[in-house]
Amino acid sequence: MKIVLIGAGNVATHLGRKLVETGEKVVQVYSRSLPNAAELANSLGAKPFDDLFGLTAKADLYIIAVSDDAIAEVVKKLGQMPLEEKLVVHTSGATPSKVFESAPTLERTGICYPLQTFTKGKPIDFSEVPICVDAAQPADLEVLESLAKKISQHVYHVNDAQRAWLHVAAVFVNNFTNHLFEIGHSILKKQQLPFEMLLPLIQETVAKLDSGSPKAMQTGPAVRQDWTTTERHLTMLNGRGDLQEIYRILTKHIKRTHADNWKH
């Protein structure tokens, strides 16, 4: 399969390398920055481009791996190219498939969303990354499922509504959780304590999820109804910006979630 990668960021980099590793052929890489396109293209044995209209119309698959706010613009431009019989997909978890409606000439469209946080310089085991696929036509869904199974052991058919909620859940467990790590880091830094002290706790919190549901694994003062401790913490956080409110909201939500347990 000849593939054109539209984008040279984190997702495009990891996805492109894995596709080439499994025997697929990336023929072109596009980026608005030619140096960025060249850096990725050179590592994939592809040609770099910074002009969408310079892309070949002879590839089999066009993968849009750009920021969410740039997808619509890319789709419109691809709709002006002779790609009627080509499969065009995007990799976003938050962008619905209706984005392709602005380019009715694109007759074969779909989604190939790898559910993971990517950083260019950090290696990742792509075989463990869940890949969510969907397509406008059943035959193209089969194509995407087949391709996804070459690079991952976890492939799911996920529709627009499911993918939107999946993305919300991902923001909670990844983006928000990482921000809580940042808060913890800031608190310890002010006390001249190393963040590394929290790493075993963080790692064990995640590891325990192999043994049961997050609700079953919940610990801490809120689930223990230790309101003396929570009030002490709230007092300590007084005047610390939004931290007191964040603590209060999360404590309240844990309390509500585990209320049934306390009744028995």
The predicted pLDDT at position 264 comes to: 43
Q: What is the pLDDT of residues 11-30, one digit of tens each?
A: 999 999 999 999 999 999 99
Q: Is the dihedral of CA 133, 134, 140, 141 positive or negative?
A: positive
Domain boundaries, the chain: 2-158, 164-263
Q: What is the pLDDT of residues 85-136, one digit of tens each?
A: 999 999 999 999 999 999 999 999 999 999 999 988 888 999 999 999 999 9
Helix axes 10-21, 138-151, angle to 10 degrees: 80
The predicted pLDDT at position 121 comes to: 84
pTM of the predicted model as reported, rounded to 2 decimal places: 0.89
DSSP of the chain, one letter per residue? Answer: -EEEEE--SHHHHHHHHHHHHTT-EEEEEE-SSHHHHHHHHHHHT-EEES-GGGS-S--SEEEE-S-HHHHHHHHHHHTTSS-TTSEEEE--SSS-GGGGGG-TT--EEEEEEE-S---TTS---GGGS-EEEEESSHHHHHHHHHHHHHH-S-EEE--HHHHHHHHHHHIIIIIIHHHHHHHHHHHHHHTT--GGGGHHHHHHHHHGGGTS-HHHH--STTTTT-HHHHHHHHHHTTTSTTHHHHHHHHHHHHHHHTHHHHH-
Cβ–Cβ under 8 Å, residues 28 and 44 = no
* 243, two tokens: 């931290």
Q: What is the pLDDT of residues 61-73, one digit of tens each?
A: 999 999 999 999 9
Q: Over 90: is that where the pLDDT of 226 sits?
A: yes
Round to whole Å and give the CA distance between 199 and 260.
31
* Domain 164-263: CATH architecture, name and number where available: Orthogonal Bundle (1.10)
The predicted pLDDT at position 150 comes to: 96
Which class in CATH covers the domain with range 2-158? Answer: alpha beta
Q: Over 60: is that where the pLDDT of 262 sits?
A: no
